[in-house]
Chain A
Amino acid sequence: MSPYLTMNPFGFPILSTVIFLPLVGVFFILFLRDDNKIKMTAFVAGMLTLLVSLLLFFSFNPGTPLFQFGERLPWIPAYNIYYVLGVDGISIMLIVLTAMISPICVLCSWKAIEKRVKEFMICILLMEAAMIGVFCSLDFILFYVFWEAMLIPMYLLIAVWGGPQKDYASLKFFIYTLFGSVFLLVAIIALYLVNGTFSIPEAMFKGYSFQFQFWVFLAFAIAFAIKVPMFPFHTWLPAAHTEAPTAGSVFLASILLKMGTYGFIRFCLPIVPQASFYFAPFMIVLSVVAIIYGGFVCLSQTDMKKLIAYSSVAHMGFVTLGIFTFTMYGFIGAMLQMLNHGVTTGALFLMVGIIYERTHSRQIYDNAGLGKFLPAYVGFFGLFAVSSFAFPGTNNFVGELYVLISTFSTSKITGFFAVVGAVVAAAYMLRLLKQIVWGREDKRDLTDLNVREFIYLTPLAVFVLWVGLFPSPFVRIMENTLVHLFMQLDKLSH
């Protein structure tokens, strides 16, 4: 084993199991014809993956910053390419989040997807495998393979099962992200040429020349900024979100956007630290612009999905703001916000999907005035909406508090600008909420949440309040890894 990896305490390769369990599901689905059986199989595969990921979560040792549950097999030895997997405090929560969201995506598509169910479920499971793979990979080539593998099922989800403008949206999504990936590949090759290895941990904190770091950072930053998406690379997002089926939007919001910020924390900071410091003010400005701009654009939306999509731009601005303020509070806040945004925004997209199944419209006006007729729906919607604008007692407040503490402690002016964004967030979310609950007087003939919908919304609601009121278990899991990262960066900044 390498020095950065700790042994896998289980008798079987647990990380590979988490990654490939969904693919086992795909294998079974290939032989099935009946739609219900296909859905059931996909759900079971997702739940099994979730169980294994929970096993991973509970046996994770938060006391060490090293990568755990390590697996290492030679893959293409001639180029020093290995199949290396491992998780640390940064990736563990994202893996659990992915494993939690995937079965929810299966459930929320149960009735919504009527054509090509088989292919749809295969896409969902392929996505899940690729996303977990991205978070586990410790080899650049392996990482890149998973990274690109996500693109195809996501493209299909939008292009096949999407809304009226699916062609435009899916193509835009594909071109944007592929464009970014090319830069990622360039950075990876540049690092290989210098290091002679594709190992990610071995590329960290090597003291490359500033010139080299400068260009590698730029290449990374373009790839990740598109994925986040940071202003001004965000234009693919509203299109993709609006046209994607509910499950696609949830995947996009909950996991795919996190790939970008994960990339910043995992690659930019430790591999090209000096360049990260150098570009930090620039990144902070872009983040604050995203927070304020995203918020104001939300104020003028009439389409629920578009509104939530633009709110993602603002929320992700808080994440990148946290990362580039370079404090412990900022790192923890960014990590928490990644999880929180995943859960809350994912949940909001689910809420839109639920009401779309009933009214066949995403327009706020068409879905207004539900308070009297759908009390349970409105209850969940209210919780996720207030969570989205960081109401105290909900998950986003804790994350935002960490990020703002970090921002105010480094620059008070930036802090006040970010606060403007927080105020605007309350304005657009409360406006939406008021419309949904009270916006219309006429009688509506709609049915409230069914059992299936209750089942998949409840864990998300529990998470919202759990992190909002008792965040310490989540902080503890990631703390040591982030402290380790912070200490190494701190040494360099003096």
Chain B
Amino acid sequence: MVMESALPLLPIGIILVTSILIMVSAKRPNLREFWSVAGAVLTFISVMAMVPAIWQGNRIIYTLSTIAPGISLNFRVDALSLIFGIISSFLWIFASFYNIGYMRSLNEHAQTRYYTCFAIAILGAQGVSYSGGLFSLYLFYEIITLFTYPLVAHHQDEEGYAGGKKYLVYLMGTAKGLLLPAVILTYVMTGTLDFADNIRTGVFPAAADHLWITVTYVLFIAGFAKAAIMPFHNWLPSAMVAPTPVSALLHAVAVVKAGVFCISRVMLSTFGTNILQDLGIGLVTAYFVSFTILAASIIALTKDDLKARLAYSTVSQLSYIILGVALLDNTGVLGGIIHIVNHGFSKIALFFCAGAIYVAHRKKNISDMAGIGYAMPFTMGAFALASLSMIGVPPVAGFVTKWYLLNGALEIKNIPILIVLMASTLLNAGYFVPITIRAFFEGKKERWSRKDIREAPLTMVVPLVLASLVSLVIGIFPDFFIGLIGKLF
């Protein structure tokens, strides 16, 4: 059933007001941070308010304005939207607390700008989730790019500018140069930019030229560079010059997930699984991203900088999501989409840990972290748990993903994909397990004098422990998200 309601505008409106309040409270840091936390909580509540309707199998739609026939600034909430919407708003609460500890401990500059841009980036992520067509999607997708640039280049030093420049060149360049023509070609062929009602049929008429459908598809996949599919991944490791909470929430959740969300959305709601199946481009996509899964994991093995290793891990894990959707059967799609949730919680925990290590001990390289588990047991314990999820060990969340992806590959009887998944699991273990071993089993306990044993501030430790615990909980009880995604089919 289709419900017409302005509910999806609520979280967006709340964040807009929050960002304005943050700006006008520049002179009063406590109040400013209060707005950030309060905005995050209210946003999450307003997102959850949409769950019952979707759970009952409805879809919420709302059109704000018409741009041209078939093009409108419209919103639509279905199970796919909510998955991303819930994750980005829920983790924003964690990140808001974490931000306070991180930014104050390091005495960072330009904090008002930082909090404002942070909030607007989340606004973009929320908007992307609830977009009802490619026009809205493109709008919010670009808002994310523009407002995360000041966050990436936050330190305003040479490294920051270089990272920021790469960020803009990749993201803005692909969005204007590849994505925009893809959107326009879609409109020229179909006469609409709205999404289709179900994930099977898509919007392309049967008579459309197959060659141009394929070209459009390729432009879309390459144009959503936020998904960091190789060779459009290079901006992500460079963006790690940003403060760690930015890397955590934006470059593990909001920005990159916006990319994979958009690709999933376009594959399912613009093209539809039928046409991708008929043209045989679903499987090609799966093979294509398999390369990213393996190559990024191998690069991650070579990185000693913890954030860089996490970044390449992200590149690899994002492609799981696309791989799952590209399998085009229900199990695979389910496995892909649920990884938006699973990867979100686990990876944010890992990045939070990296930031906590830096704040408490000023260490960035894995080689310097021998025995750090003695000094910060909570942080490294959470790290160990979250990295198990990344590897896909039961009962942590990542296992659920692997289970559905493997089943999906088995259902379509595709051996190469199975091999890729297994190989990547080994690689994941190869670059995550040594960190835990080094933290807990290398170096002597005696080396750490009493004053060295310290954790980061509580506003940082609590969110990171909670995030890793959540990835355990949703690994044991995955029913809510599985049930929600089930409404798509």
Contacts and interface: CB of A to CB of B under 8 A. Distances in A.
B142 A401 contact: no
A436 to B, nearest CB: 14
Contact of A391 (B146, B156, B188): B146
Interface string B47-72: 00000000000000000111110010
Given A329-B68, A472-B66, A423 B184 contact: no
Interface in A411-459: 412, 415-416, 419-420, 422-423, 426-427, 430, 438
Interface in B166-180: 168, 172-173, 176-177, 180
Contact of B65 (A391, A415, A426, A470): A470
Contacts of B64: 469
A77 B212 CA distance: 60
Q: Which of B67, B142, B143 has the most C-beta atoms of chain A within 10 angstroms of its own C-beta? A: B67
A392 B156 contact: no
Contacts of A405: 68, 184, 187-188
A398 B67 contact: yes
A471 to B, nearest CB: 6
A442 B185 CA distance: 47
Contacts of B139: 392-393
B142 A415 contact: no
Contacts of A402: 68
Contacts of A332: 68
B211 to A, nearest CB: 11
A408 B181 contact: yes
A401 B184 contact: yes
Given A430-B172, A469-B65, A408 B185 contact: yes
A70 B297 CA distance: 73
A354 interface: no
A14 interface: no
Given A392-B138, A469-B65, A426 B180 contact: no
B169 to A, nearest CB: 8
Contacts of B146: 386, 391
B143 A393 contact: yes
B142 A469 contact: no
A486 B180 CA distance: 26
A438 B188 contact: no
A200 interface: no
B142 A391 contact: yes
A409 interface: yes
B73 interface: yes
Interface string B354-369: 0000000000000000
B177 A420 contact: yes
Nearest to A419: B181
B172 A426 contact: yes
Q: Which of B143, B146, B184 has the most C-beta atoms of chain A within 10 angstroms of its own C-beta? A: B184
Contacts of B73: 469
Interface string A379-418: 0000000100001110000100110110011001001100
Contact of A415 (B135, B143, B184): B184
Nearest to B109: A372
B185 A423 contact: no
Q: What is the interface residue range for chain A against chain B?
A: 20 to 34
Contacts of A392: 135, 138-139, 142-143
A419 B65 contact: no
B180 A422 contact: yes
Contacts of A430: 168, 172
Interface in A438-494: 438, 469-472, 475
A472 B177 CA distance: 26
B156 A438 contact: yes
A113 to B, nearest CB: 35
Interface in B39-96: 64-68, 71, 73
Interface in B108-154: 135, 138-139, 142-143, 146, 153
Interface in A96-127: none
Nearest to B165: A434
Nearest to B110: A372
Contacts of B138: 392
A423 B173 contact: yes
A140 B380 CA distance: 82
Contacts of A409: 188
Given A408-B181, A408-B188, A430-B168, A423 B176 contact: yes
A402 B187 CA distance: 11
B156 A404 contact: no
A218 to B, nearest CB: 32
A419 B64 CA distance: 28
A422 B168 CA distance: 14
B67 A472 contact: yes
Contacts of B185: 408, 412
Contacts of B67: 398, 401, 471-472
B172 A404 contact: no
A423 B177 contact: yes
A311 to B, nearest CB: 15
Contact of A472 (B65, B173, B181, B212): B65
A444 to B, nearest CB: 16
A295 to B, nearest CB: 12
Contacts of A416: 181
A419 B168 contact: no
B112 to A, nearest CB: 10
A426 B176 contact: yes
A422 B183 CA distance: 14
B166 to A, nearest CB: 13
Contacts of A426: 172-173, 176
A94 B177 CA distance: 31
A398 B71 CA distance: 10
A494 to B, nearest CB: 21
A319 to B, nearest CB: 17
A422 B174 CA distance: 11
A329 B188 CA distance: 11
B144 to A, nearest CB: 11
A401 B72 CA distance: 12
Contacts of B135: 392
A430 B73 CA distance: 25
Given A391-B142, A409-B188, A426-B173, 16 more contacts: A329-B68, A392-B143, A393-B143, A401-B67, A402-B68, A404-B180, A404-B181, A404-B184, A405-B188, A416-B181, A422-B176, A426-B176, A427-B173, A438-B156, A469-B65, A470-B65
Interface of A: 329, 332, 386, 391-393, 398, 401-402, 404-405, 408-409, 412, 415-416, 419-420, 422-423, 426-427, 430, 438, 469-472, 475
The 4 closest A-B pairs by CB, nearest first: A392-B139, A423-B177, A470-B65, A423-B176
5 contacts: A392-B143, A398-B67, A405-B187, A426-B176, A470-B65
